[in-house]
Amino acid sequence: MASDRSGQWRHAAEALVIPIGALAAAMAVFGVFMAALGQNPLEIYALIYKGAFASAFSWQNTLSRAAPLILTALCVALPAQAGLMVIGGEGAVVLGGLTAAIVGHLLSGAAPAGVKVAMALLGMLVGGLWIALAGALRQYRGVNETISSLLLTYVAVALFNHVVEGPLRDPSSLNKPSTANIGDVNMIGNLPGLDIHWGLGFGIVFCIAMHVLVRDTTYGFALTACVLGGAAAGLAGAVEVAAVHGSANASLIAGYGYAGILVAFIARQNPLAIVPVAVLVGGLSASGGMLQRRLDLPDATVLVLQGIAFMLILGSEALYGRLKPFRARAA
């Protein structure tokens, strides 16, 4: 029916305009905040653009940061589609990365192709099981999954530190405790023709697959959603180890899980919308270094902008169905 079609368009336009408006408002509030501290907001906007999207190098930086965000955002969005609010993706990232580092180390000498597959799959498995734990506690014991998933993150970080500083510590890593390197042959490398690692490709494929899954199948209990989301976050950790760091160390605990929450909320828990939003947020964090170098601002500057954006995005929920142009005409 024609009126249904126009209603759909109106919804889509609303879901696009409101978040973009909220982001623009966040930029404005952030500008006022920076101006109050004696900075020139226009200069900051220009630097953010420059650091995030102005050159091939900055695009490469942006997309490399977007890759784990796509996957960790799925860890929020998929359970959210099933009505659960899981915010423990960081724990799955950390354990997925640790698993990949251990697997890569134990299998060193085996055929590199097999090692790579094993690292990715086992990282996903561990991440999936970790988040499934929060889902299962909700399902069978009624434990609030938001709190339990976050507590599990702290447990995951403690486990990670225990392994990295203790049994599996590479004795040659003095200042920065790390596990043994997985070896250059086992690194998964970059997308063909680009300076961006495979995580971006995995993330986009994962998002499309999940979009189809959510839209076209009835498959998916809350617990399945947790497993898939956790697997995505675990993969993010595995890729960080197997494509960037080469071993498990503190660089893995970089807050990707938390930034992924922001991405998922801006994308309104829609798997396809996650990709562009992750690029945007990845660009923001890529520009942090530029702000630090050029204006001598603390590296937390980007966190402030992200926090403001998050609050305004959540507040903008109140606008849905209330803006005149998007309202269906009364029949």
Partner 1 sequence: MVELGWWGVPIGVVGGAIRVSTPFLFVSLGECITERSERINLGLEGILIMGAMSGYAVSYTSGNPWLGVLAAGGAGLLLGLLHGLACNLPRVNDIAVGIGLMLFGTGLAFFLGKPYVQPKAPTLPAIPLGAWSNSPQIRAALQVNPLFLIGVGLAIGLAWAFRNTRWGLVIRMVGDSSDAARAMGYAVPRVRTLSTALGGFLAGVGGSFLSLYYPGSWSEGLSSGQGLMAVALVIFARWNPIQCFYAALLFGGAGALGPALQSVGITSGYYLFNAAPYVVTLGIMIATCSPRRTLAGAPGELSINR
Residues that bind partner 1 (CB under 8 A): 85, 87, 137, 139-144, 146-148, 150-152, 154-155, 158-159, 161-162, 165-166, 258, 261-262, 265, 298-308, 310-311, 313-315, 317-318, 320
Dihedral class, residue 296 (left if φ above 0, else alpha if ψ from -120 to 50, else beta): left
Residue number with CB closer to partner 1 (189 or 315): 315
CA angle 245, 273, 100 (to 5 degrees): 25
Residue number with CB closer to partner 1 (60 or 146): 146
DSSP for 97-139, written as a single string: HHHHHHHHHHTTTS-HHHHHHHHHHHHHHHHHHHHHHHHHHHH
Least distance in Å: CB of 123 to partner 1?
21
Residue number with CB closer to partner 1 (17 or 143): 143
Residue number with CB closer to partner 1 (109 or 298): 298
Least distance in Å: CB of 234 to partner 1?
19
Task: Report in angstroms the alpha-carbon separations of 309 from 14, 28, 29, 246.
Answer: 18, 10, 9, 33
Residue number with CB closer to partner 1 (141 or 324): 141
Q: Cβ distance 18 to 320 under 8 Å?
A: yes
The partner residues of 197 in beta bridges, in order of sequence, read 190
Least distance in Å: CB of 272 to partner 1?
21
- Tell me the residue type at 77: A
Residue number with CB closer to partner 1 (8 or 144): 144
Which residues have CB under 8 Å from 304's CB, separation 6+? 30, 33
DSSP for 45-112, written as a single string: HHHHHHHHHSSHHHHHHHHHHHHHHHHHHHHHHHHHHTT-----HHHHHHHHHHHHHHHHHHTTTS-H
Least distance in Å: CB of 233 to partner 1?
16
Least distance in Å: CB of 156 to partner 1?
9
Least distance in Å: CB of 73 to partner 1?
13
Residue number with CB closer to partner 1 (275 or 302): 302
Least distance in Å: CB of 91 to partner 1?
10
Least distance in Å: CB of 282 to partner 1?
16
Q: Cβ distance 65 to 143 under 8 Å?
A: no
The partner residues of 329 in beta bridges, in order of sequence, read none
Task: Report in angstroms the alpha-carbon separations of 70 from 35, 47, 67, 76, 274.
Answer: 32, 24, 5, 10, 6
Residue number with CB closer to partner 1 (136 or 243): 136
